[in-house]
């Protein structure tokens, strides 16, 4: 199969990012899905039922913004709707990673708030991690649960299910997933050690948010825009 240089590069990158996520146990078995948008507005996405740690470039599906397959290749993920909603609401977004990071999913089940301002690095960058209400996987109900959150956050959880991270490119989406699960691990350990947490004082949070402009950080921040709060 002959691909353009751009398509070949993105197909290879999706495979590499899938292996990273698999090796870090952010996805297991056939869990999760990864996509990236090409310059022509079409989408390359992992196929249904595939183990993301063992992908090859010709395994990747190619669809338009309605989810319609554009070639005779593999069928796209059954959760392609998550990606279509995110791309339609966020024209700046060029890549999406939907994963099942275990600590973060566990916190949604336990009802532990990941929006709470506790960790300075997260406060300054993404702000917090909002959680969408539960939606039935594999149905049109699921992507609609995140529609309002993707408008104002790059990082979010789906109740009892998994995470969705948006990026300017595939590595950016993966980086935010890495940050999300690292945050969840810290919160998990803190809850085990203390049995509950208190947010940092409002004044301390305000001062940290003020450093964003000095540091040149312009990403969406849920504590600034009150996303999910």
Q: Output the tens digit of pLDDT for each of the chain's 229 residues.
A: 689 999 999 999 999 999 999 999 999 999 999 999 999 999 999 999 999 999 999 999 999 999 999 988 888 988 999 999 999 999 999 999 999 999 999 999 999 999 999 999 999 999 999 999 999 988 889 999 999 999 999 999 999 999 999 999 999 999 999 999 999 999 999 999 988 889 999 999 999 999 999 999 988 999 999 997 7
pTM of the model: 0.95
Q: 10 Å Cβ neighbour count for 14?
A: 25
Active site residues: 79
**Could you give the angle at the alpha carbon of 183 between the alpha carbons of 182 and 189, nearest 5°?**
90
């Amino acid at each position: 199969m002959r691909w353009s240089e751009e398509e070949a590069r993105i197909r290879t990158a999706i495979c590499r990012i899938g292996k990273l996520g698999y090796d870090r146990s952010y996805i297991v078995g056939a869990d999760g899905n990864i996509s990236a948008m090409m310059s022509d507005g079409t989408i390359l996405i992992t196929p249904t039922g595939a183990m993301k740690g063992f992908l090859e470039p010709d395994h990747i599906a190619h669809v338009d913004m309605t989810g319609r397959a554009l070639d005779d290749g593999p069928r796209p993920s059954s959760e392609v709707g998550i990606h279509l909603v995110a791309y339609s609401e966020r024209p700046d977004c060029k890549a999406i990673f939907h994963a099942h990071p275990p600590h973060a999913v566990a916190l949604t089940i336990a009802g532990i708030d990941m929006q709470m301002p506790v960790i300075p690095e997260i406060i300054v960058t993404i702000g917090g991690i909002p959680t969408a209400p539960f939606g039935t996987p594999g149905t049109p109900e699921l992507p609609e649960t995140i529609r309002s959150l993707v408008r104002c956050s790059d990082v979010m959880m789906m109740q009892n299910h998994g995470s969705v991270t948006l990026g300017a490119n595939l590595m950016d989406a993966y980086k935010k997933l890495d940050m999300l699960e690292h945050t969840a691990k810290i919160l998990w350990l803190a809850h085990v050690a203390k049995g509950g947490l208190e947010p940092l004082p409002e004044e301390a949070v305000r001062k940290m948010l003020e450093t964003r402009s000095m540091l040149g950080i312009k990403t969406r921040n849920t504590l600034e825009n009150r996303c999910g709060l």
